[in-house]
Amino acid sequence: MGEKSVIKAIGRGIDSLVDKLVAALLAIALIQLPHYMESYALFLSGYLLAMEEEISDFKENADKFGVTLEEYIVRHEKAADQMIRATGQTIRSHMEKRDRVRDALHRWELAKTWQKPFVFIQIVDMELTRKMHYKPGFSFTLESLAYAGSGVLAGFLLYTILIRSFLGWIWRRIFPPKAKIA
C-alpha cells in the first residue's frame, strides 16, 4: 500500500466523520428553534399579563376621578407640568406596546405548525428578546424532530456542497492529477 493510498484512506475516514459531525451540529442547532419560539411565546404571554396589570392600575386611577382612561391620559399629556406630561406619554406608549404584544401573541396562537417560523420572524421584537432569559433545551415533539431532520439534511448538503468541494480543491492542489500519456 503506497503513501498516497494511506493518505486517501485517512482522508475518507476524516471526510466521513466530518460530514456526520456537521449534520449533527446543525440538527442540534435547529432543534433549538421550536423550543426558542415557544419560550418567546411564553415570555410574551407573561409580558402581556404584566402590562395588562399596569394599565389596569391606571384605569383604576381614572375611575377614582370619574374619567375614562383616555381622558386620564390626555389630561396628563396636556398638563402644564412637564413631569406629568411625560407620565401621560409613558402610559400611552405602554398601551401601544401592549396592543402590539397582544396582536403578536394572537397571531402566534392562530398560526399552524408549518406557519410558526414565518410568523415568528414577523412578530419577534428584538428589544423583548434581550429581556428574555432563554435556556437551551430539547422538546421532543414532531415539530422538533422535523427541525432536527432539517438540520441533518442541511448539514449533509452544507458539507457536501461547500466543505467537500473546498477540501477537494485543496486536495487537487496538494496532489495534482498526473497527465495521462496517450
Q: What are phi and psi of 178, to 5 degrees?
A: -80, 140
Rounded Cα–Cα distance for residues 126 and 128 (Å):
5
C-alpha grid cell, residue 176: 495534482
pLDDT of residue 92: 96
Give residue-wise pLDDT tens across range 124-174.
Answer: 999 999 999 888 877 777 777 777 777 777 777 777 777 767 767 776 777
Rounded Cα–Cα distance for residues 30 and 153 (Å):
11
Rounded Cα–Cα distance for residues 77 and 83 (Å):
10
Question: Would you give the DSSP letter of residue 175?
Answer: S
Cβ 22 vs Cβ 155: under 8 Å: yes
Give residue-wise pLDDT tens across range 107-124.
Answer: 999 999 889 889 999 999
Question: Would you give the DSSP letter of residue 180?
Answer: P
The pTM of this model reads 0.68
C-alpha grid cell, residue 96: 401601544
pLDDT band per the 50, 70, 90 thresholds, residue 47 = very high
pLDDT of residue 42: 93
Q: What are phi and psi of 111, to 5 degrees?
A: -70, 140
Q: Where are the domains of the chain?
A: 3-130+140-174
Q: What is the 3-state secondary structure (H, E, C) of 65-119?
A: CCCCHHHHHHHHHCCCCHHHHHHHHHHHHHHHHHHHHHHHHHHHHHCCHHHHHHH
Task: Spell 111-142 as b/e; 16+ CB within 10 A means b.
Answer: beeeebeebbeebebeebeeeeeeeeeeeeee
Rounded Cα–Cα distance for residues 75 and 101 (Å):
26
